Structures are given as C-alpha cells and as structure tokens.
C-alpha cells in the first residue's frame, strides 16, 4: 500500500473517532492490524490487512464477513492465539496496553479475565474427557486460585446463571451429555466467569438451530449488559448482527470495507459489497426469487486483486478501481467505507 493512502486512512480514523467517543472510553482499540501467514521458502501471505476498529464499554460490534475474509484470524490475533506460522502486526490496545507486545505470561493473565472467548463449535471446544463443570471451575482455579470446592460452587452458580436446569447435577456431566444449546451456554458461562471487559464471540450460534440461536444471543446480550462487557461478535449472518450489534464492520478479502452504526448500514449501505450482501439475504416481504447473488467468488487469501479488492465482482467498478486501492473514507453519519464510488446514501436502495 502506498504511503499517502496510509496517511489518508489514519486521517479517516482520527476524523471518525470523536463521534465514537459518545460513551465511556474505549476498552479495545485495534489499529492497522495485519495478519500474515509465514510460509517456509516463500513470501509471507497477507490474510488480514490494516484492520482497525474500536470497542467501547458495553458496546457490541459485529464483524461480518464470508469464510476466508479474515474475521476469525482477526479475533485470534486480538487474543494472541494465532498458530505458530502466523504473525500479526499493528497494535491491539486493551485499555491502553498493546497486547501484541506483551509477554506470553502477561497476555495469559489477561485472557479469560479481561478478554474472553466463546467459540463456534462447542462440541470440539470443550474437552470431551472432562466434565463440563470441571472445565468451568478450571477457569476460576487458574485465575482466582480458588480451591476445588470453592471453584465447584462458583461453577454451579454460573451454570444456573446461564439457565442450565439443575446445575448442581449437570456439573458432573460430560460435554456429549449436553445438547448443543446447553454446551454453548456452558461455554458462555466459562467466558463470563470472570466478568471480562471484552467478550469475543466467534460465530457463537452457527451450529445451532434458529430458536436456540435467539435464546443464546439473548443470553449473551444480557450477560454483557450485566458486566458492561464489550462484545465483538464475529459472524457471517447479517440478520443476527442486525438484531444484536450497535455497529457493524464488514470484512472482505482481509480488509474492513465498510463500518457503520448497524441501523444505517442496513438501511443505506455505502459500499457495493454491502448492498450486494443485503440483496442476497432472503426476506419475508421480498417477492420469491427476488434474491440477487453477488456475482463471482471471493478471492483466495494470497490472491487478493490489485486496486480495490472487490472490483472484479463490483457492478459499479470503473478503471480506477482496478489500480488504486480505496482508503476507508469517513462518510456522513459516522460511517466509513473503502470505495472510490460509494453508493449515494440518500437513494436508499433497499428499505
């Protein structure tokens, strides 16, 4: 990326910051986070590029993207849990401390306590050989140094708070004896055990059916509100994000292409990709067969196109889009979009 564009991006962010600062100070500031895949004997492959976002206390930010858009890697980079062959650059500041420069021990002390995670696949994320209760108690024993007995009591209490019936008896069950929804609840119990400031939920409801999904999201929102936790919701489900998020950041090919308050993003998308996605979501009022898919396929990591990453699939692409990468420009009403020819927010393509 050229230097002047970097400058533009920075200016864009600082311009948008005062508007973000409506509530209390930010708990998590991610700035120009890039993640690259190290390959032996080859150049590193950039999979997440210059991602920046801010999370305030009690706020919910949805990070939306297709598979391979880099949303999960972004989350793992925030937690410092990237695999060995992956490197992160940039800065991830938790209440002013850059997590990327912290030692392993210092970072470990924060994980679970200040930053906690809910994973997608609760069956494989829970250790099949240990009881659910033990695994929740484990968190308390590691961080608070509680005794076995005290941790057990606290874990039973937590299971009750995520509305698992008869928690004292369910404490001794193994993950396979729980249903999918209950496992997800147990994982949420584990994540909120220490009242974290930032909760990262990586596709928390993807493996569940719709009714359970709603209950899980409700529970997540409720617990986050209780602890004033900021929620970073990673999902590919636009509908889910619409119902939960205060702000939405849309990722495409490793970059954030549009970031806006949820209501505005859904009402008037500025980026053609956002509009394409919204047009591809089925809705009850739309006529049957009215879905318009986004043409083409998302680029594979390492084969991101020059210029605007979306231009090969963009209906409004022009010559400039193929050569020049658009910076995230602040637009009206607190949104930023990385597009040379943003859609006019006034013309409302879809209600």
Closer to other proteins by CB, 108 or 228: give it.
Answer: 108
β-strand partners of 200: 117, 232
Contact positions with other proteins (CB under 8 A) in 200-219: 207-209, 211-212, 215-216
Stretch that binds other proteins, among 113-121, 150-158, 236-244, 320-328 (CB under 8 A): 113-121
Q: Which pair of tokens denotes residue 175?
A: 């993950």
CB crowding 281-318: b at 16 or more within 10 Å, else e:
eeeeeeeeeeeeebeeebbebeebeebbbbbbbbeebe
Q: Which pair of tokens denotes residue 34?
A: 């890039």
For the chain, the C-alpha Rg in angstroms (whole number) is: 21
Contact positions with other proteins (CB under 8 A) in 10-39: none
Contact positions with other proteins (CB under 8 A) in 83-112: 83-84, 105, 108-112
- Whether the CB-CB separation of 276 and 292 falls below 8 Å is answered with yes
Closest CB 127 distance from other proteins, rounded Å: 4
Closest CB 43 distance from other proteins, rounded Å: 19
Q: Does 287 bind other proteins (CB under 8 A)?
A: no
Closer to other proteins by CB, 132 or 309: give it.
Answer: 132
Stretch that binds other proteins, among 25-33, 134-142, 249-257, 335-343 (CB under 8 A): 134-142
Q: Which pair of tokens denotes residue 120?
A: 């997608």
* One-character DSSP codes across 168-202: HHHTT--GGGS-HHHHHHHHHHHHHTT--SEEEEE
* One-character DSSP codes across 100-125: GGS-HHHHHHHBTTTEEEE-S-HHHH
Q: Does 285 bind other proteins (CB under 8 A)?
A: no
Candidates 181, 276, 307, 326; binder of other proteins (CB under 8 A) is 181
| Residue ranges that bind other proteins, judged by CB under 8 A | 79, 81, 83-84, 105, 108-113, 116-117, 119, 121, 123-131, 135, 138-139, 142-143, 163-166, 169-170, 172-174, 176-185, 187, 190-191, 207-209, 211-212, 215-216
């Amino acid at each position: 990326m050229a230097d002047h564009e970097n400058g533009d991006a920075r200016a864009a962010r600082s311009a948008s910051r005062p508007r973000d600062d409506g509530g209390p100070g930010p708990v998590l500031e991610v700035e120009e986070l890039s993640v690259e895949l190290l390959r032996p004997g080859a150049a590193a492959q950039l999979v997440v590029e210059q991602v920046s976002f801010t999370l305030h206390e009690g706020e919910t930010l949805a990070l939306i993207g297709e598979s391979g858009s880099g949303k999960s890697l972004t989350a793992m980079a925030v937690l410092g849990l990237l695999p060995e062959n992956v490197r992160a650059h940039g800065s991830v500041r938790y209440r002013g401390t850059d997590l990327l420069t912290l030692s392993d021990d210092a970072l470990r002390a924060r994980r679970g306590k200040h930053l906690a995670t809910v994973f997608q696949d609760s069956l494989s994320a829970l250790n099949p050989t240990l009881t659910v209760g033990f695994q929740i108690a484990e968190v308390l024993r590691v961080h608070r140094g509680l005794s076995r007995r005290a941790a057990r009591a606290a874990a039973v209490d937590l299971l009750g708070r995520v509305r698992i019936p008869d928690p004292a008896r369910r404490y001794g069950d193994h993950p396979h004896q729980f249903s999918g929804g209950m496992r997800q609840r147990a994982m949420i119990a584990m994540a909120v055990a220490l009242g974290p400031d930032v909760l990262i939920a990586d596709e928390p409801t993807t493996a569940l059916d719709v009714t359970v999904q709603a209950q899980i999201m409700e529970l997540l929102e409720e617990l986050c509100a209780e602890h004033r936790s900021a929620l970073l919701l990673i999902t590919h489900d636009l509908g889910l994000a619409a119902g939960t998020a205060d702000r939405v950041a849309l990722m495409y090919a490793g970059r954030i292409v549009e970031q806006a308050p949820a209501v505005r993003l859904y009402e008037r998308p500025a980026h053609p990709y956002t509009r394409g996605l919204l047009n591809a979501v089925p809705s009850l009022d739309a006529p049957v067969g009215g879905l318009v898919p986004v043409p083409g396929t998302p680029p594979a990591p390492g084969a991101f196109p020059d210029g605007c990453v979306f231009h090969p699939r963009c209906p409004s692409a022009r010559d400039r889009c193929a050569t020049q990468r658009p910076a995230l420009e602040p637009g009206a009403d607190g949104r930023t979009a990385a597009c040379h020819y943003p859609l006019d927010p006034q013309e409302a393509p879809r209600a």
